[in-house]
Homo-oligomer: A and B are copies of this chain.
Amino acid sequence: MTEIQFRSDFGVELVDSMGGDHSIVRAARVSSGSEAGDEKRDKGLINFLARDRHGSPFEATVFQFKIDVPLFVAREWFRHRIGSFNEVSGRYKILEPVFYMPAEERPMKQIGKPGAYTFEPGTITQARHSRVMHRQVAEMAWMAYEDQLALGVAREVARNVLPVSIFTSFYWTVNGRSLLNFLSLRHVTDDTTVPTFPLWEIDQAAGRVEELAKQVAPEAFAAFNKHGRVTP
């Protein structure tokens, strides 16, 4: 059996981008026909756009990421319809034996009602048991996958046994406005004012996305945070 690998982190790479703060400003200025300003006025304009939710200029900047996350995280990601995805296919490709293993800091215990859970660390027993289950199922499922492949069963049938903890890879092309919408819902910070309760794992990965994206359009992110992380 191929040796399988467990990981608790997520892969987030900024592959490419188009524009930045300057293209947001440029797109906004066409509406009013105002002249290009200096740095300070541009910053003020971006701030105004975020505050008053003039969202369309934020679509003039585009990002492309390569993302490596477990299937259960990818499923949430793909719910965001304004953007483009290209993903590893379990029909075309023999998958890689890389599975998710919750890290120690992953809260294990949920309290409260659907839509308003809070989470606590969980007991040592809970964490240990859950991690053992993650490992055992991944190992058995991978063996079942490889056995079927060895017998000549089609990839697209054999993969049915794999758990949603298996990692997948995809390219994500997304404009700035749709990205801010994603981050408003999937990454919570002290500035968050929008009611949202993201899955712990997507929150971690989305945080990495934000770190990279804000280097491309720092003023846009500053304004987004200043105004409560509401989608413009």
Contact surface of A with B, Cβ cutoff 8 Å: 15-19, 23, 26-28, 30-34, 48, 51-54, 56-57, 59-60, 62, 64, 66, 70-72, 75, 78-79, 81-82, 84-94, 100, 102, 106-110, 114-115, 117, 119, 122-123, 125-126, 129-130, 133-134, 136-138, 140-141, 144, 147-148, 151-165, 169-171, 173, 175, 194-196, 199-200
Top 8 nearest A-B pairs (CB, nearest first) are: A59-B84, A18-B18, A92-B114, A110-B154, A27-B86, A33-B93, A133-B144, A81-B81
Q: How far is the CA of A29 from the CA of B157 in the complex (A)?
A: 21
B31 in contact with A87 (CB, 8 Å):
yes
What 7 additional pairs, Cβ within 8 angstroms, besides A31-B87, A91-B117, A122-B153? A23-B64, A32-B89, A81-B82, A109-B154, A110-B155, A130-B153, A160-B165
Jot down 18 A-B pairs with beta carbons below 8 A, ordered by A.
A15-B26, A18-B64, A19-B64, A30-B169, A31-B87, A60-B64, A71-B164, A89-B114, A91-B114, A100-B160, A109-B153, A119-B154, A125-B151, A129-B151, A129-B153, A130-B151, A136-B140, A140-B140
- Find out whether the CB atom of A157 lies under 8 angstroms from the CB atom of B173: no
